Structure 1
Amino acid sequence: MSHLLTGFFIETVFSLQTALDLSAPATDAILINRKNAWIQLAGHPGSFAPAGPHTIWKKRMAKENYELKAYQSLMDSPTTQDIIPEFHREVEHNGEYFIEIEDLLQHFKDPNIMDIKMGKRTFLESEVKNPVLRKDLYQKMIDLNPNAPTEEERKQEAITKLRYMQFREEGSSTATLGFRIEAVKKSGEAPITSLKKIKHKSQVKKACVNFLLIEHCMVLPWGILVLKGQKKVEKTHLIPMLLQIIGSSLLIMYDESGHCGVWLIDFAKTIPVENGMILYHNLPWLLGNHEDGFLSGLDNLIDVRIFCHSCK
Protein backbone atom coordinates (compact mmCIF):
# COMPACT_ATOMS: atom_id res chain seq x y z
CA MET A 1 0.00 0.00 0.00
CA SER A 2 1.40 3.35 -0.50
CA HIS A 3 1.24 3.03 3.10
CA LEU A 4 1.92 6.04 4.90
CA LEU A 5 -1.53 6.99 4.60
CA THR A 6 -3.33 9.75 3.34
CA GLY A 7 -5.36 12.33 4.83
CA PHE A 8 -7.57 15.21 4.16
CA PHE A 9 -8.35 18.54 5.52
CA ILE A 10 -11.06 16.93 7.62
CA GLU A 11 -11.15 17.06 11.39
CA THR A 12 -9.20 14.21 12.88
CA VAL A 13 -11.22 11.02 12.63
CA PHE A 14 -9.57 9.53 15.62
CA SER A 15 -6.51 10.31 17.69
CA LEU A 16 -3.35 8.51 16.66
CA GLN A 17 -0.96 8.17 19.57
CA THR A 18 2.16 6.14 19.09
CA ALA A 19 5.03 5.49 21.46
CA LEU A 20 8.36 4.96 19.72
CA ASP A 21 11.59 3.53 21.01
CA LEU A 22 14.03 5.57 18.94
CA SER A 23 16.87 3.29 19.99
CA ALA A 24 15.28 0.31 18.22
CA PRO A 25 16.91 -0.31 14.83
CA ALA A 26 15.29 -2.11 11.90
CA THR A 27 16.47 -5.68 12.42
CA ASP A 28 15.93 -8.93 10.55
CA ALA A 29 14.03 -10.27 13.57
CA ILE A 30 11.51 -7.44 13.40
CA LEU A 31 11.13 -7.93 9.67
CA ILE A 32 10.49 -11.64 10.07
CA ASN A 33 8.00 -11.11 12.88
CA ARG A 34 6.05 -8.55 10.91
CA LYS A 35 6.36 -9.75 7.33
CA ASN A 36 2.97 -11.48 7.30
CA ALA A 37 1.22 -8.27 8.33
CA TRP A 38 3.11 -6.05 5.92
CA ILE A 39 1.21 -4.51 3.03
CA GLN A 40 2.41 -2.25 0.23
CA LEU A 41 -0.18 -1.53 -2.43
CA ALA A 42 1.70 1.01 -4.51
CA GLY A 43 4.98 2.85 -4.84
CA HIS A 44 8.44 1.61 -5.69
CA PRO A 45 9.00 -2.00 -4.56
CA GLY A 46 11.45 -2.16 -1.70
CA SER A 47 10.91 1.48 -0.73
CA PHE A 48 9.50 0.59 2.69
CA ALA A 49 10.66 -1.59 5.56
CA PRO A 50 9.34 -2.19 9.07
CA ALA A 51 11.53 -0.40 11.62
CA GLY A 52 10.58 -0.20 15.29
CA PRO A 53 7.42 -1.78 16.74
CA HIS A 54 5.24 1.09 15.50
CA THR A 55 7.24 2.71 12.71
CA ILE A 56 8.44 2.16 9.16
CA TRP A 57 11.42 3.34 7.16
CA LYS A 58 10.94 4.89 3.74
CA LYS A 59 13.98 5.05 1.46
CA ARG A 60 15.11 8.35 -0.03
CA MET A 61 14.68 7.96 -3.80
CA ALA A 62 16.42 11.19 -4.87
CA LYS A 63 19.56 13.06 -3.89
CA GLU A 64 17.56 15.97 -2.48
CA ASN A 65 15.38 14.84 0.40
CA TYR A 66 12.26 16.87 -0.31
CA GLU A 67 10.16 14.39 1.66
CA LEU A 68 12.08 15.04 4.86
CA LYS A 69 11.59 18.79 4.47
CA ALA A 70 7.91 18.35 3.61
CA TYR A 71 7.30 16.25 6.71
CA GLN A 72 9.06 18.78 8.90
CA SER A 73 6.96 21.58 7.43
CA LEU A 74 3.66 19.68 7.65
CA MET A 75 4.35 18.44 11.18
CA ASP A 76 4.86 22.05 12.30
CA SER A 77 1.48 23.14 10.92
CA PRO A 78 -1.58 22.70 13.19
CA THR A 79 -3.78 22.23 10.09
CA THR A 80 -1.83 19.24 8.79
CA GLN A 81 0.04 17.63 11.69
CA ASP A 82 -2.90 15.38 12.63
CA ILE A 83 -3.61 14.12 9.10
CA ILE A 84 -0.17 12.80 8.19
CA PRO A 85 1.83 9.90 9.62
CA GLU A 86 3.85 11.04 12.62
CA PHE A 87 7.39 11.88 11.53
CA HIS A 88 10.25 10.84 13.83
CA ARG A 89 13.65 11.27 12.22
CA GLU A 90 15.97 10.73 9.28
CA VAL A 91 18.10 7.59 9.45
CA GLU A 92 21.36 6.63 7.72
CA HIS A 93 21.81 2.87 7.36
CA ASN A 94 24.50 1.11 5.31
CA GLY A 95 25.12 4.22 3.23
CA GLU A 96 21.43 4.79 2.42
CA TYR A 97 19.05 7.35 3.88
CA PHE A 98 15.55 6.77 5.19
CA ILE A 99 12.86 8.71 6.98
CA GLU A 100 11.26 6.99 9.97
CA ILE A 101 7.53 7.55 10.23
CA GLU A 102 4.50 6.10 11.94
CA ASP A 103 3.27 2.72 10.73
CA LEU A 104 -0.45 3.36 10.36
CA LEU A 105 -1.21 -0.32 9.89
CA GLN A 106 -0.68 -0.83 13.60
CA HIS A 107 -4.11 0.67 14.25
CA PHE A 108 -5.97 -1.92 12.20
CA LYS A 109 -6.56 -5.64 11.89
CA ASP A 110 -6.71 -6.88 8.28
CA PRO A 111 -8.02 -3.51 7.07
CA ASN A 112 -9.74 -2.47 3.87
CA ILE A 113 -7.39 -0.02 2.15
CA MET A 114 -7.79 2.45 -0.72
CA ASP A 115 -4.89 4.50 -2.09
CA ILE A 116 -5.94 7.58 -4.08
CA LYS A 117 -3.31 9.51 -6.04
CA MET A 118 -4.15 13.22 -5.87
CA GLY A 119 -3.64 16.08 -8.31
CA LYS A 120 -4.04 16.79 -12.02
CA ARG A 121 -0.45 15.87 -12.77
CA THR A 122 1.94 13.38 -11.21
CA PHE A 123 5.17 14.71 -12.73
CA LEU A 124 7.37 17.65 -11.80
CA GLU A 125 7.89 20.48 -14.23
CA SER A 126 11.62 19.77 -14.13
CA GLU A 127 10.90 16.31 -15.58
CA VAL A 128 9.24 17.65 -18.73
CA LYS A 129 11.09 20.87 -19.61
CA ASN A 130 13.25 19.24 -22.27
CA PRO A 131 11.67 20.05 -25.69
CA VAL A 132 13.58 17.32 -27.54
CA LEU A 133 11.37 15.07 -29.68
CA ARG A 134 11.79 11.41 -28.75
CA LYS A 135 10.99 8.45 -30.96
CA ASP A 136 11.02 6.02 -28.02
CA LEU A 137 8.18 7.88 -26.30
CA TYR A 138 6.21 8.01 -29.54
CA GLN A 139 6.57 4.23 -29.80
CA LYS A 140 5.38 3.82 -26.20
CA MET A 141 2.37 5.98 -26.98
CA ILE A 142 1.24 4.01 -30.01
CA ASP A 143 1.86 0.74 -28.17
CA LEU A 144 -0.67 1.93 -25.58
CA ASN A 145 -3.06 3.63 -27.99
CA PRO A 146 -2.42 3.60 -31.76
CA ASN A 147 -5.02 6.36 -32.23
CA ALA A 148 -3.45 8.82 -29.79
CA PRO A 149 -0.87 10.64 -31.99
CA THR A 150 -1.86 13.75 -33.91
CA GLU A 151 -1.24 14.03 -37.63
CA GLU A 152 1.87 16.11 -36.98
CA GLU A 153 3.19 13.58 -34.47
CA ARG A 154 2.68 10.78 -36.96
CA LYS A 155 4.77 12.66 -39.52
CA GLN A 156 7.54 13.25 -36.99
CA GLU A 157 7.21 9.83 -35.36
CA ALA A 158 8.38 11.51 -32.17
CA ILE A 159 6.95 13.41 -29.19
CA THR A 160 8.26 15.37 -26.23
CA LYS A 161 8.31 13.92 -22.74
CA LEU A 162 5.70 16.50 -21.71
CA ARG A 163 3.34 15.24 -24.41
CA TYR A 164 3.91 11.65 -23.34
CA MET A 165 3.35 12.36 -19.65
CA GLN A 166 0.14 14.25 -20.38
CA PHE A 167 -0.99 11.38 -22.59
CA ARG A 168 -0.42 8.99 -19.71
CA GLU A 169 -2.41 11.21 -17.33
CA GLU A 170 -5.30 11.25 -19.82
CA GLY A 171 -5.47 7.47 -19.55
CA SER A 172 -6.93 7.76 -16.04
CA SER A 173 -9.17 10.09 -14.08
CA THR A 174 -6.12 12.19 -13.13
CA ALA A 175 -6.50 14.60 -16.04
CA THR A 176 -10.28 14.98 -15.75
CA LEU A 177 -11.04 14.61 -12.03
CA GLY A 178 -7.72 15.48 -10.41
CA PHE A 179 -7.36 12.11 -8.69
CA ARG A 180 -7.19 8.43 -9.52
CA ILE A 181 -7.66 5.25 -7.55
CA GLU A 182 -4.17 3.82 -7.38
CA ALA A 183 -4.96 0.56 -5.60
CA VAL A 184 -7.52 -1.13 -3.38
CA LYS A 185 -7.31 -4.02 -0.95
CA LYS A 186 -10.43 -5.50 0.61
CA SER A 187 -10.06 -7.41 3.85
CA GLY A 188 -8.95 -10.99 3.21
CA GLU A 189 -8.51 -10.41 -0.53
CA ALA A 190 -5.60 -9.80 -2.87
CA PRO A 191 -4.79 -6.17 -3.82
CA ILE A 192 -6.37 -4.72 -6.96
CA THR A 193 -4.06 -2.39 -8.89
CA SER A 194 -5.95 -2.17 -12.20
CA LEU A 195 -8.33 0.60 -11.15
CA LYS A 196 -5.90 3.39 -12.01
CA LYS A 197 -7.07 3.14 -15.64
CA ILE A 198 -10.70 4.01 -14.96
CA LYS A 199 -11.52 7.52 -16.14
CA HIS A 200 -15.15 8.50 -15.69
CA LYS A 201 -16.89 9.64 -12.53
CA SER A 202 -19.48 6.85 -12.77
CA GLN A 203 -16.69 4.25 -12.88
CA VAL A 204 -14.91 5.87 -9.96
CA LYS A 205 -18.11 5.96 -7.92
CA LYS A 206 -18.77 2.29 -8.62
CA ALA A 207 -15.28 1.37 -7.40
CA CYS A 208 -15.72 3.49 -4.27
CA VAL A 209 -19.11 2.01 -3.48
CA ASN A 210 -17.64 -1.47 -3.76
CA PHE A 211 -14.81 -0.50 -1.42
CA LEU A 212 -17.17 0.94 1.20
CA LEU A 213 -19.80 -1.80 0.99
CA ILE A 214 -19.97 -3.23 4.51
CA GLU A 215 -22.55 -5.10 6.59
CA HIS A 216 -22.70 -2.66 9.47
CA CYS A 217 -22.96 1.07 9.06
CA MET A 218 -19.85 2.90 10.27
CA VAL A 219 -19.00 6.57 10.33
CA LEU A 220 -16.47 6.36 7.52
CA PRO A 221 -14.08 9.19 6.73
CA TRP A 222 -15.72 9.81 3.38
CA GLY A 223 -19.01 10.70 5.05
CA ILE A 224 -17.25 12.93 7.57
CA LEU A 225 -15.37 14.63 4.77
CA VAL A 226 -18.53 15.45 2.87
CA LEU A 227 -20.45 16.59 5.95
CA LYS A 228 -17.75 18.59 7.71
CA GLY A 229 -14.66 19.11 5.61
CA GLN A 230 -15.63 21.63 2.99
CA LYS A 231 -17.94 23.61 5.28
CA LYS A 232 -15.83 23.89 8.42
CA VAL A 233 -12.26 24.18 7.15
CA GLU A 234 -10.77 26.87 4.98
CA LYS A 235 -9.11 24.67 2.39
CA THR A 236 -6.42 27.12 1.40
CA HIS A 237 -5.00 26.73 4.90
CA LEU A 238 -4.76 22.97 4.53
CA ILE A 239 -2.21 22.77 1.75
CA PRO A 240 0.73 25.16 2.10
CA MET A 241 0.61 27.74 -0.70
CA LEU A 242 4.39 27.71 -1.13
CA LEU A 243 4.60 23.95 -1.80
CA GLN A 244 3.61 22.07 -4.92
CA ILE A 245 2.00 18.74 -4.03
CA ILE A 246 2.87 16.22 -6.74
CA GLY A 247 2.26 12.47 -6.52
CA SER A 248 0.87 12.52 -2.99
CA SER A 249 -1.91 10.16 -1.97
CA LEU A 250 -4.88 9.90 0.29
CA LEU A 251 -5.01 6.58 2.06
CA ILE A 252 -8.35 5.43 3.46
CA MET A 253 -8.56 2.45 5.82
CA TYR A 254 -11.19 0.77 7.95
CA ASP A 255 -11.64 -2.64 9.55
CA GLU A 256 -14.40 -4.76 11.05
CA SER A 257 -13.79 -3.38 14.55
CA GLY A 258 -14.99 0.03 13.46
CA HIS A 259 -11.59 1.74 13.27
CA CYS A 260 -11.32 4.07 10.30
CA GLY A 261 -9.09 6.85 9.13
CA VAL A 262 -7.79 8.97 6.26
CA TRP A 263 -4.25 10.33 5.94
CA LEU A 264 -2.23 12.38 3.50
CA ILE A 265 0.98 10.61 2.46
CA ASP A 266 3.88 10.44 0.01
CA PHE A 267 5.82 13.70 -0.24
CA ALA A 268 8.85 12.79 -2.37
CA LYS A 269 7.72 15.38 -4.96
CA THR A 270 6.39 17.96 -2.53
CA ILE A 271 8.83 20.76 -3.18
CA PRO A 272 8.91 24.54 -2.61
CA VAL A 273 8.15 26.82 -5.53
CA GLU A 274 10.66 29.40 -6.62
CA ASN A 275 10.80 33.03 -5.58
CA GLY A 276 7.95 32.84 -3.12
CA MET A 277 5.37 32.10 -5.83
CA ILE A 278 1.88 31.51 -4.39
CA LEU A 279 -0.02 28.38 -5.45
CA TYR A 280 -3.77 27.91 -5.19
CA HIS A 281 -3.82 24.17 -6.02
CA ASN A 282 -6.98 24.53 -8.12
CA LEU A 283 -5.97 26.59 -11.16
CA PRO A 284 -5.25 25.11 -14.62
CA TRP A 285 -1.63 24.05 -14.99
CA LEU A 286 0.63 25.77 -17.50
CA LEU A 287 4.33 25.03 -17.69
CA GLY A 288 5.93 27.47 -15.28
CA ASN A 289 3.02 28.18 -12.93
CA HIS A 290 3.57 24.99 -10.85
CA GLU A 291 -0.16 24.50 -10.13
CA ASP A 292 -0.84 20.89 -9.16
CA GLY A 293 -4.63 20.55 -9.07
CA PHE A 294 -4.66 18.97 -5.61
CA LEU A 295 -7.68 20.90 -4.35
CA SER A 296 -9.49 20.44 -7.67
CA GLY A 297 -9.12 16.71 -7.17
CA LEU A 298 -10.31 17.02 -3.60
CA ASP A 299 -13.44 18.88 -4.71
CA ASN A 300 -14.20 16.18 -7.28
CA LEU A 301 -13.55 13.43 -4.77
CA ILE A 302 -16.01 15.05 -2.37
CA ASP A 303 -18.49 15.43 -5.22
CA VAL A 304 -18.52 11.66 -5.69
CA ARG A 305 -20.43 11.67 -2.34
CA ILE A 306 -19.85 8.12 -1.23
CA PHE A 307 -21.51 6.78 1.90
CA CYS A 308 -21.99 3.23 3.12
CA HIS A 309 -25.17 1.80 1.61
CA SER A 310 -27.31 2.28 4.72
CA CYS A 311 -26.26 5.92 5.29
CA LYS A 312 -27.75 7.57 2.24
Structure 2
Amino acid sequence: MRDPLRPFVPQYHGMVTRGEQCYMRLEDLLSGLRRPVIMDCKMGLRTYQEEELAKALNKATFRSDMYQKMVKMDPSALSAEEHAQRGVTKWRYLQWRDTTSSTSTLGFRIEGIMMADGSVQRDFKKILTSAKVTEAFLYFTKSQLDILKAYHTRLLALSDALTNSSFFRTHEVIGSSLLFVHEHSSKASVWMIDFGKTTPVHDTIKLRHNIPWTEGSREDGYLIGLTSLITSLSQAISVASCQEEDSSGEGQSIT
Protein backbone atom coordinates (compact mmCIF):
# COMPACT_ATOMS: atom_id res chain seq x y z
CA MET A 1 0.00 0.00 0.00
CA ARG A 2 1.28 3.44 -0.90
CA ASP A 3 2.17 5.42 2.22
CA PRO A 4 0.86 9.02 2.41
CA LEU A 5 4.46 10.22 3.00
CA ARG A 6 5.58 9.14 -0.47
CA PRO A 7 5.18 12.64 -2.05
CA PHE A 8 7.33 14.16 0.70
CA VAL A 9 10.52 12.12 0.31
CA PRO A 10 13.03 11.90 -2.58
CA GLN A 11 12.33 9.20 -5.15
CA TYR A 12 14.43 6.05 -4.90
CA HIS A 13 16.25 5.08 -8.12
CA GLY A 14 17.99 1.89 -7.05
CA MET A 15 21.50 1.06 -5.88
CA VAL A 16 24.84 1.98 -7.44
CA THR A 17 28.30 0.56 -6.71
CA ARG A 18 31.45 2.65 -6.44
CA GLY A 19 34.44 0.45 -5.78
CA GLU A 20 33.51 -1.73 -2.82
CA GLN A 21 30.80 0.63 -1.58
CA CYS A 22 27.10 0.49 -2.42
CA TYR A 23 24.99 3.65 -2.42
CA MET A 24 21.34 4.48 -2.88
CA ARG A 25 20.55 6.62 -5.90
CA LEU A 26 17.98 9.24 -4.87
CA GLU A 27 16.15 12.02 -6.65
CA ASP A 28 18.08 15.28 -6.99
CA LEU A 29 15.84 17.74 -5.16
CA LEU A 30 17.71 20.71 -6.64
CA SER A 31 17.45 19.58 -10.25
CA GLY A 32 16.44 22.41 -12.58
CA LEU A 33 17.10 25.15 -10.03
CA ARG A 34 19.77 27.61 -11.10
CA ARG A 35 19.96 29.64 -7.89
CA PRO A 36 18.28 27.60 -5.17
CA VAL A 37 17.68 28.99 -1.69
CA ILE A 38 17.88 26.23 0.91
CA MET A 39 17.16 25.79 4.62
CA ASP A 40 17.81 22.66 6.69
CA CYS A 41 15.71 22.15 9.84
CA LYS A 42 16.65 19.28 12.16
CA MET A 43 13.40 17.84 13.52
CA GLY A 44 12.41 16.45 16.91
CA LEU A 45 13.03 17.05 20.61
CA ARG A 46 16.29 15.09 20.54
CA THR A 47 18.94 14.14 17.99
CA TYR A 48 20.37 11.11 19.80
CA GLN A 49 18.99 7.58 19.88
CA GLU A 50 18.23 5.73 23.07
CA GLU A 51 20.87 3.18 22.02
CA GLU A 52 23.48 5.97 22.02
CA LEU A 53 22.49 6.84 25.58
CA ALA A 54 22.85 3.22 26.70
CA LYS A 55 26.21 2.91 24.94
CA ALA A 56 27.50 6.09 26.57
CA LEU A 57 26.49 4.82 30.01
CA ASN A 58 27.94 1.33 29.55
CA LYS A 59 31.10 2.03 27.56
CA ALA A 60 32.00 5.69 27.29
CA THR A 61 34.18 6.83 24.38
CA PHE A 62 35.48 10.36 24.79
CA ARG A 63 35.65 12.61 21.73
CA SER A 64 38.15 15.47 21.69
CA ASP A 65 36.59 17.01 18.55
CA MET A 66 33.21 17.36 20.25
CA TYR A 67 34.89 18.72 23.37
CA GLN A 68 36.53 21.44 21.25
CA LYS A 69 33.17 22.39 19.72
CA MET A 70 31.69 22.82 23.19
CA VAL A 71 34.69 24.85 24.36
CA LYS A 72 34.31 27.15 21.36
CA MET A 73 30.62 27.84 22.04
CA ASP A 74 30.33 27.68 25.83
CA PRO A 75 33.27 26.47 27.95
CA SER A 76 31.22 26.97 31.12
CA ALA A 77 28.91 24.12 30.03
CA LEU A 78 31.71 21.62 30.63
CA SER A 79 32.48 20.07 34.00
CA ALA A 80 35.92 20.16 35.61
CA GLU A 81 36.27 16.45 34.85
CA GLU A 82 35.46 17.00 31.16
CA HIS A 83 38.00 19.81 30.96
CA ALA A 84 40.60 17.57 32.60
CA GLN A 85 40.07 14.69 30.17
CA ARG A 86 39.59 17.10 27.24
CA GLY A 87 36.83 14.94 25.83
CA VAL A 88 33.09 14.25 25.98
CA THR A 89 30.92 11.36 24.84
CA LYS A 90 28.91 11.74 21.65
CA TRP A 91 25.71 11.44 23.68
CA ARG A 92 26.84 14.24 26.03
CA TYR A 93 27.61 16.49 23.06
CA LEU A 94 24.32 15.79 21.28
CA GLN A 95 22.36 16.31 24.49
CA TRP A 96 24.12 19.64 25.04
CA ARG A 97 23.42 20.72 21.45
CA ASP A 98 19.74 19.89 21.91
CA THR A 99 19.35 21.74 25.22
CA THR A 100 21.14 24.88 24.03
CA SER A 101 19.07 25.24 20.86
CA SER A 102 15.39 25.32 19.90
CA THR A 103 15.46 21.51 19.64
CA SER A 104 14.48 21.22 23.30
CA THR A 105 12.09 24.22 23.33
CA LEU A 106 10.38 24.10 19.92
CA GLY A 107 11.03 20.56 18.69
CA PHE A 108 13.36 21.55 15.83
CA ARG A 109 16.35 23.72 15.08
CA ILE A 110 17.63 25.51 12.00
CA GLU A 111 20.93 23.93 10.95
CA GLY A 112 21.74 26.36 8.16
CA ILE A 113 20.54 28.53 5.30
CA MET A 114 22.07 28.94 1.85
CA MET A 115 20.99 32.02 -0.08
CA ALA A 116 20.77 32.39 -3.86
CA ASP A 117 24.27 33.88 -4.07
CA GLY A 118 25.75 30.77 -2.46
CA SER A 119 26.43 32.39 0.91
CA VAL A 120 25.79 30.09 3.88
CA GLN A 121 24.55 31.14 7.31
CA ARG A 122 24.88 28.72 10.22
CA ASP A 123 24.54 31.09 13.16
CA PHE A 124 21.12 29.84 14.26
CA LYS A 125 22.09 27.55 17.13
CA LYS A 126 21.03 30.02 19.83
CA ILE A 127 17.56 30.68 18.37
CA LEU A 128 15.21 29.60 21.16
CA THR A 129 11.89 31.37 20.53
CA SER A 130 9.17 31.25 17.90
CA ALA A 131 9.63 34.99 17.29
CA LYS A 132 13.29 34.45 16.35
CA VAL A 133 12.32 31.59 14.03
CA THR A 134 9.81 33.94 12.37
CA GLU A 135 12.63 36.43 11.76
CA ALA A 136 14.71 33.63 10.23
CA PHE A 137 11.86 32.70 7.86
CA LEU A 138 11.51 36.33 6.75
CA TYR A 139 15.26 36.48 6.11
CA PHE A 140 15.25 33.15 4.28
CA THR A 141 12.35 34.10 1.98
CA LYS A 142 13.10 37.83 1.80
CA SER A 143 9.52 38.28 3.07
CA GLN A 144 8.05 37.03 -0.23
CA LEU A 145 4.42 36.20 0.54
CA ASP A 146 3.94 33.66 -2.25
CA ILE A 147 6.93 31.64 -1.06
CA LEU A 148 5.90 31.81 2.60
CA LYS A 149 2.36 30.70 1.74
CA ALA A 150 3.65 27.84 -0.44
CA TYR A 151 5.78 26.57 2.45
CA HIS A 152 2.84 26.89 4.84
CA THR A 153 0.55 24.90 2.53
CA ARG A 154 3.20 22.21 2.06
CA LEU A 155 3.73 21.82 5.82
CA LEU A 156 0.00 21.52 6.45
CA ALA A 157 -0.17 18.78 3.82
CA LEU A 158 2.83 17.06 5.42
CA SER A 159 1.12 17.21 8.81
CA ASP A 160 -1.93 15.42 7.37
CA ALA A 161 0.27 12.82 5.68
CA LEU A 162 2.20 12.11 8.88
CA THR A 163 -1.04 11.67 10.82
CA ASN A 164 -2.25 9.05 8.32
CA SER A 165 1.09 7.30 7.78
CA SER A 166 1.49 3.78 9.18
CA PHE A 167 5.24 4.09 8.61
CA PHE A 168 5.39 7.18 10.82
CA ARG A 169 3.40 5.54 13.61
CA THR A 170 5.79 2.60 13.72
CA HIS A 171 9.16 4.36 13.36
CA GLU A 172 11.27 6.48 15.67
CA VAL A 173 12.55 9.41 13.57
CA ILE A 174 15.80 10.80 15.00
CA GLY A 175 18.16 13.29 13.34
CA SER A 176 15.95 13.67 10.28
CA SER A 177 15.61 17.05 8.58
CA LEU A 178 13.07 19.04 6.63
CA LEU A 179 14.71 20.55 3.56
CA PHE A 180 13.11 23.84 2.45
CA VAL A 181 13.92 24.72 -1.17
CA HIS A 182 12.80 27.59 -3.36
CA GLU A 183 13.95 29.80 -6.17
CA HIS A 184 12.82 33.33 -6.91
CA SER A 185 10.98 32.24 -10.05
CA SER A 186 9.71 28.82 -8.97
CA LYS A 187 7.45 27.14 -6.48
CA ALA A 188 8.71 26.45 -2.96
CA SER A 189 8.72 22.93 -1.58
CA VAL A 190 9.65 20.98 1.56
CA TRP A 191 11.11 17.48 1.72
CA MET A 192 11.83 14.96 4.47
CA ILE A 193 15.48 13.84 4.29
CA ASP A 194 18.20 12.12 6.36
CA PHE A 195 16.79 8.85 7.66
CA GLY A 196 20.01 7.26 8.91
CA LYS A 197 18.68 7.16 12.48
CA THR A 198 15.08 6.24 11.63
CA THR A 199 14.33 2.87 13.22
CA PRO A 200 11.22 0.67 13.57
CA VAL A 201 9.74 0.17 17.02
CA HIS A 202 8.30 -3.01 18.52
CA ASP A 203 4.98 -4.18 17.09
CA THR A 204 3.21 -3.36 20.35
CA ILE A 205 4.30 0.30 20.22
CA LYS A 206 2.46 3.00 18.28
CA LEU A 207 4.33 6.29 18.53
CA ARG A 208 2.45 9.57 18.93
CA HIS A 209 5.35 11.92 18.06
CA ASN A 210 3.60 14.81 19.85
CA ILE A 211 4.59 14.21 23.48
CA PRO A 212 7.88 14.78 25.35
CA TRP A 213 10.44 11.97 25.42
CA THR A 214 11.07 9.87 28.51
CA GLU A 215 13.71 7.18 28.52
CA GLY A 216 12.29 4.00 27.02
CA SER A 217 9.30 5.66 25.35
CA ARG A 218 11.01 6.02 21.93
CA GLU A 219 9.01 9.24 21.39
CA ASP A 220 10.86 11.79 19.24
CA GLY A 221 8.64 14.90 19.36
CA TYR A 222 8.63 15.25 15.56
CA LEU A 223 5.08 16.63 15.43
CA ILE A 224 5.88 19.12 18.18
CA GLY A 225 8.55 20.56 15.91
CA LEU A 226 6.28 20.56 12.87
CA THR A 227 3.56 22.42 14.79
CA SER A 228 6.14 24.99 15.91
CA LEU A 229 7.30 25.47 12.32
CA ILE A 230 3.74 25.97 11.08
CA THR A 231 3.11 28.52 13.84
CA SER A 232 6.26 30.48 12.99
CA LEU A 233 5.38 30.42 9.29
CA SER A 234 1.90 31.76 10.06
CA GLN A 235 3.48 34.60 12.01
CA ALA A 236 5.91 35.29 9.16
CA ILE A 237 3.00 35.45 6.69
CA SER A 238 1.23 38.00 8.93
CA VAL A 239 4.36 40.16 9.15
CA ALA A 240 5.02 39.96 5.39
CA SER A 241 1.37 40.82 4.65
CA CYS A 242 1.60 43.94 6.81
CA GLN A 243 4.85 44.92 5.11
CA GLU A 244 3.24 44.49 1.70
CA GLU A 245 0.21 46.57 2.70
CA ASP A 246 2.43 49.32 4.09
CA SER A 247 4.48 49.33 0.89
CA SER A 248 1.33 49.45 -1.24
CA GLY A 249 -0.10 52.28 0.85
CA GLU A 250 3.07 54.34 0.48
CA GLY A 251 2.96 53.89 -3.28
CA GLN A 252 -0.65 55.08 -3.48
CA SER A 253 0.01 58.12 -1.29
CA ILE A 254 2.91 59.16 -3.54
CA THR A 255 0.66 58.99 -6.61
TM-score range, shorter chain: 0.7 to 0.9
Residue 307 of structure 1 pairs with residue 237 of structure 2 = yes
- Cα distance, 1:193 vs. partner? 2.2
**Residue 205 (structure 1) aligned to one of 118, 134, 146:** 134
Cα gap change, 1:219 to 1:301, in 2 (>3 Å): closer
> What does residue 196 of structure 1 align with?
125
In 2, Cα distance between equivalents of 1:249 and 1:237? 20
Deviations 1:37-60 (Å, cap 9, x if unpaired)? Answer: xxxxxxxxxxxxxxxxxxxxxxxx
More helix by share: 2
Q: Is the 8 A contact 2:209 2:221 kept in 1?
A: yes
What are the ranges of 5 or more consecutive residues in structure 1 without an aligned counterpart? Answer: 1-75
**Residue 164 (structure 2) aligned to one of 237, 240, 244:** 237
> What does residue 274 of structure 1 align with?
202
Instruction: Select between 240-249 and 164-173 the one with higher mean Cα deviation.
Output: 164-173
**Residue 283 (structure 1) aligned to one of 187, 205, 211:** 211
- Cα distance, 1:277 vs. partner? 1.7
In 1, Cα distance between equivalents of 2:13 and 2:203? 29
- Cα distance, 1:204 vs. partner? 1.8
| TM-score normalised by L of structure 1 | 0.64
In 1, Cα distance between equivalents of 2:70 and 2:114? 31
Q: Is the 8 A contact 2:141 2:148 kept in 1?
A: no
Number of corresponding residues: 232
> What does residue 89 of structure 1 align with?
14
| TM-score normalised by L of structure 2 | 0.77
Cα gap change, 1:296 to 1:218, in 2 (>3 Å): closer
Deviations 1:174-233 (Å, cap 9, x if unpaired)? Answer: 111111111111111312222234223222221111111156744643232477666xx3
Q: Is the 8 A contact 2:151 2:188 kept in 1?
A: no
Amino acid at match of 1:237: N
For residues 254-273 of structure 1, the aligned pairs below 5 Å read 254-273=182-201
What are the ranges of 5 or more consecutive residues in structure 2 without an aligned counterpart? Answer: 243-255
Cα gap change, 1:107 to 1:262, in 2 (>3 Å): farther
Cα gap change, 1:133 to 1:87, in 2 (>3 Å): closer
Amino acid at match of 2:39: M
- Cα distance, 1:299 vs. partner? 0.7
Residue 106 of structure 1 pairs with residue 36 of structure 2 = no
- Cα distance, 1:247 vs. partner? 1.1
